[in-house]
Amino acid sequence: MKLLTKSIEKKFERHPLYSQDGKGVKATVLVKYFNPTGAGTWLITEAEKQENGDWMLFGYCHIYEWEWGYIMLSDLQNHRGRYGLGIERDIYIGDSATVEDLMGAE
Each domain of the chain, given as residue ranges in start order, spans 6-99
pLDDT at site 91: 94
pLDDT at site 105: 57
- pTM (global) more than 0.75: yes
pLDDT at site 1: 84
User: Amino acid identity of 41?
Assistant: T
Helix ranges (H only) for 5-104 are: 6-14, 73-78, 99-102
Q: Residues in the chain with pLDDT < 70?
A: 105-106
Q: CA angle at residue 47 from 25 to 54, to 5 degrees?
A: 145
pLDDT at site 94: 87
